[in-house]
């Protein structure tokens, strides 16, 4: 079951015209695909948050902030999970989470592109999330489905002998499929946890 971890306080600034949404854990997923020994493997993160401001009519007023608990990684192989949590990979003792922020959203083809930055380990690099948006209807959550392409070595993920991409590939494909519910209070006061938001 997906658990939405508590989010850090958001900035007080708001984007005019963009409605605010928070993660609805039920039905949401954050996954990635990588290559080990020439074979692809699918993985997921079980805990993350998302705070989205978005208006399809004015995408340029939108923004996205997501925080990922790297310790919640699940590759379907417990031994591999423990390796990823170690110093050569995510190094949870120093950097337990990754953060994606995007302040620029534009129309792109049949969907949208959110240009932002991903902070992973001690590296922050530009990342673009290509996504499609489905508005919520009759009290149902909105849906954001998207993808981004990363190179793990650009973020220092895989130190020492793991820099060799012969065994573990460099390319990582990230996919998001999340449900988002409207935020009915000021964004600053929302804590994203399992269940209903709590005002602070």
Q: Which pLDDT does position 184 carry in this prediction? A: 67
Predicted confidence (pLDDT) at residue 49 exceeds the cutoff of 80:
yes
pLDDT of residue 186: 45
d(C-alpha 41, C-alpha 33), whole Å: 6
Is 102's pLDDT higher than 70?
yes
Radius of gyration of the chain (CA): 17
Give yes or no for a contact between 106 and 62, defined as CB atoms under 8 angstroms apart.
Answer: no
In the DSSP assignment, the letter for residue 97 is E
Residue 37 has pLDDT above 70, yes or no: yes
Other residues' Cβ atoms within 10 Å of the Cβ of residue 144? 25
- pLDDT tens digits, 167-198: 999 999 999 999 999 996 544 433 333 333 33
**Domains of the chain with bracketed CATH:** 19-192 (2.40.128.110)
Exposure string over 153-183, b if 16+ CB within 10 A, otherwise e: eebbbbeeebeeeeebbbebebebebbbbeb
Residue 146: closest CA among 23, 44, 55, 32: 32
- Provide the whole-model pTM: 0.83
Q: What is the pLDDT of residue 137?
A: 86
Please state which of the ranges 62-71, 92-101, 132-141 shows the lowest mean pLDDT.
132-141
pLDDT of residue 72: 98
Rounded CA separation 64/51 (Å)? 6
């Amino acid at each position: 079951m997906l658990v939405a971890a508590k989010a850090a306080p958001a900035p007080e600034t708001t984007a005019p015209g963009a409605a605010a949404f928070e993660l609805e854990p039920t039905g949401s997923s954050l996954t990635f695909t990588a290559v080990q020994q020439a074979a692809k493997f699918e993985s997921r993160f079980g805990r993350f948050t998302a705070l989205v401001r978005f208006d399809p009519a004015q995408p340029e007023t939108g923004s996205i902030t997501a925080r990922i608990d790297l310790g919640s990684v699940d590759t379907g192989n417990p031994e591999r999970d423990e390796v990823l949590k170690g110093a050569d990979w995510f190094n949870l003792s120093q950097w337990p989470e990754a953060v994606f922020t995007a302040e620029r959203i534009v129309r792109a083809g049949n969907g949208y592109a959110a240009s932002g930055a991903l902070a992973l380990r001690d590296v922050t690099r530009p990342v673009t999330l290509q996504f499609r948006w489905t508005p919520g209807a009759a009290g149902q959550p909105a849906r954001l489905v998207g993808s981004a392409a990363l190179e793990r070595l650009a973020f220092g993920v895989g130190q020492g002998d793991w820099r060799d991409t012969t065994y573990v590939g460099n390319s990582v494909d990230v996919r998001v499929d999340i449900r988002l519910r409207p935020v009915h209070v000021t964004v600053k006061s929302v804590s994203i946890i399992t269940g209903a938001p709590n005002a602070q």
